[in-house]
A and B are shown apart, each in its own frame.
Chain A
Amino acid sequence: MRNLSILLGLTLLLAVARPAGAAMPKAGELVQAQLLADVSAVKPGEEFTLGVLLKIKPKWHIYWKYPGDAGLPTTVKWKLPDSSATQPELRFPLPVRFDQPGDVVGYGYKDEVLLTARVKAPQGAAGSSQEFAADVTYLVCEDVCIAGKAAVKLSIPLADQTKPANQELFQKWVAQLPQPAGAASAALKDAELERVGEREFQAKVEWPQGQALKDVQWFPLPPKGSGVETAQTKSGGNRSVLSFALVPMPKEMLTMQFLVTYTDSSGKRQGVVFDENLPAPLSK
């Protein structure tokens, strides 16, 4: 009996004690990075898609290009065979929102994400192998956050004919890229941005009556050096409004991007990106 109570006590102690000083997990164990392409061989000069596949340990998350109230953006720096080529645009699929206690909102990814870019195969002899690489940085968080980086590479042979590969994976993630504003298939055609205070704004989207859009979510992308604070979404009827403040307020009037995601009537999650000019301050 006595042994039992000691055992019980120990178990309790173990359960309650926080793992202070316990070895922190390594970033590389939490996020596995791999460079993939949608081709296994490519014709010189032809475009194809490169993708960094990030596999994230369950319950942990990494961040979108704007992390929200906390965190750091995930970055990818491409290293292409033609080192003089400009960096291709990094394409982020629709992020998800993490609501943390105390109104701390994060934007990013759980489980898995494929960050892609369209690149061009260099000129060269068929059969010659070309090396593509990427340097990835990320912050991976659960209760604690750990900064991580990975250097990944992939050799792709040049060939007379392009050979597709990894089609299912690339199609799945490319289908989750946001659409540009005005895309024919997008239920949201345009957005409005209104200035309601010194640094307070309201962004609004509307959709045709009768179209049932669900789970409308806003992912604001503030100008560099500025952050979005006190973001509040109100959706109802056929409109959704995001109220927010820019802190600090950028000195020069700039444009700001908004990604708005929604679930369409077929149950598919979609997203549209809007570029809006920041309106001038209200006259006093």
Chain B
Amino acid sequence: MRKMLMPVAALAVLAVAFSVALADHHEKDKDKKAEGAAAASAKIGEAAPAFTLHDINGKSHSLADYAGKIVVLEWINPDCPFVQRHYNLDTMTNLAAKNKDVVWLAIATGGTADAENLKTFAQKESISYPILLDPDGTAGKAYGAKKTPHMYIVNKDGKLAYMGGIDDQEIGEPNAPLKDGTVNYVDKALTELASGSTVSQAETKAYGCGVKYKK
């Protein structure tokens, strides 16, 4: 019995030490978080944060791979009704198809970075562009992505040209039709970039579900 107790006691000591270390780490994390938030992640006109992520088929993608091209980043979550609505309407897939020279990358962050679930969704919605997995939320946090969908456009110089919503209609009903007069900000920005002008509305209000960052 005594023999058994020793390792248990040692383990308990270890556990306490470990949790103290964790708590300390957590405190530091909190400070960092406050700084990061105050500095407000990605900024229009500045270099878009670099990332390297694997897609649902295991292929690696870096933002640098697409230097010289316009890149659209779309934060995605197949279980979010706002995202579902835009896939029911083919908003994203049509836009990607319409802009053949543009690289379209969907990114699933945190709890939604589930390759199998995303594969099913990609098949169902005929998504031909890569869906990247960002389980740790590093890309999401670097861009300050808070919602799904949350949209970003990186211009040919690698600078952030647009951030915000997909359009100006905050609708979360998956089967709701497209409202008359909807302004699709991403479509507008891509058209402006293609014609060589700057994006007139570089920042808009994003709307949707919260990005499911891990605790």
List the interface of chain A (C-beta within 8 A of B): 18, 20-21, 24, 69-72, 100-104, 106, 139, 141, 143-147, 149, 225-227, 229-230, 232, 243, 245, 247-249
B80 to chain A, nearest CB (A): 6
Determine which of B38, B40, B80, B146 lies in contact with A102 in the assembled complex, contact meaning CB atoms within 8 Å. Answer: B146
Contact A102 B147 (CB under 8 A): no
Nearest A-chain residue to B141, judged by Cβ:
A102
Nearest B-chain residue to A231, judged by Cβ:
B37
A183 to chain B, nearest CB (A): 31
A202 to chain B, nearest CB (A): 12
Contact B147 A101 (CB under 8 A): no
**If A72-B170, A102-B146 touch, does A141 touch B209 (CB 8 Å cutoff)?**
yes
Interface size band for B:
35 or more
Contact A69 B205 (CB under 8 A): no
Q: How far is the CA of A249 from the CA of B40 in the complex (A)?
A: 14
List the interface of chain B (C-beta within 8 A of A): 33-34, 37-38, 40, 79-82, 109-111, 114, 116-117, 120, 137, 140-141, 144, 146-147, 164, 168, 170, 172-174, 201, 203-215
**If A20-B114, A243-B38 touch, does A145 touch B214 (CB 8 Å cutoff)?**
no
Nearest A-chain residue to B111, judged by Cβ:
A143
Q: How far is the CA of A139 from the CA of B81 in the complex (A)?
A: 9
Using Cβ atoms and an 8 Å threshold, which residues of chain A touch B144?
229
Nearest A-chain residue to B213, judged by Cβ:
A102
Contact B38 A104 (CB under 8 A): no
Q: How far is the CA of A102 from the CA of B41 in the complex (A)?
A: 12
A101 to chain B, nearest CB (A): 4
Using Cβ atoms and an 8 Å threshold, which residues of chain B touch A101?
110, 212-215
Closest 6 CB pairs of A and B: A102-B213, A70-B210, A101-B213, A104-B210, A147-B172, A248-B203
Determine which of A18, A72, A141, A232 lies in contact with B34 in the assembled complex, contact meaning CB atoms within 8 Å. Answer: A232
Contact A100 B205 (CB under 8 A): no
A120 to chain B, nearest CB (A): 32
| Interface-centre pick from B141, B144, B204, B209 (highest chain A CB count, 10 A) | B209
Q: How far is the CA of A229 from the CA of B206 in the complex (A)?
A: 11
Contact B140 A102 (CB under 8 A): yes
Contact A69 B117 (CB under 8 A): no
**If A101-B110, A147-B174, A247-B203 touch, does A69 touch B212 (CB 8 Å cutoff)?**
no
Q: How far is the CA of A227 from the CA of B205 in the complex (A)?
A: 6
**If A70-B208, A101-B214 touch, does A20 touch B117 (CB 8 Å cutoff)?**
yes
Contact B210 A21 (CB under 8 A): no
Q: How far is the CA of A227 from the CA of B37 in the complex (A)?
A: 15
Return 9 A-B CB contacts under 8 Å, by A number: A72-B207, A100-B213, A102-B110, A103-B37, A104-B210, A104-B213, A106-B210, A144-B209, A248-B204
Determine which of B33, B110, B146, B203 lies in contact with A70 in the assembled complex, contact meaning CB atoms within 8 Å. Answer: B146
Q: How far is the CA of A104 from the CA of B210 in the complex (A)?
A: 6
Contact A102 B211 (CB under 8 A): yes
Contact A225 B205 (CB under 8 A): yes
Nearest A-chain residue to B214, judged by Cβ:
A101
Contact B147 A69 (CB under 8 A): yes
Contact A232 B114 (CB under 8 A): no
Nearest A-chain residue to B212, judged by Cβ:
A143
Nearest B-chain residue to A17, judged by Cβ:
B116
Contact A104 B146 (CB under 8 A): yes
Nearest A-chain residue to B109, judged by Cβ:
A102
Contact A145 B172 (CB under 8 A): yes
A147 to chain B, nearest CB (A): 4
**If A70-B208, A102-B140, A230-B38 touch, does A248 touch B164 (CB 8 Å cutoff)?**
yes
Contact B146 A139 (CB under 8 A): no
Nearest A-chain residue to B116, judged by Cβ:
A20
A222 to chain B, nearest CB (A): 8
Q: How far is the CA of A147 from the CA of B79 in the complex (A)?
A: 12
Q: How far is the CA of A25 from the CA of B81 in the complex (A)?
A: 13
Using Cβ atoms and an 8 Å threshold, which residues of chain B touch A18?
114, 117
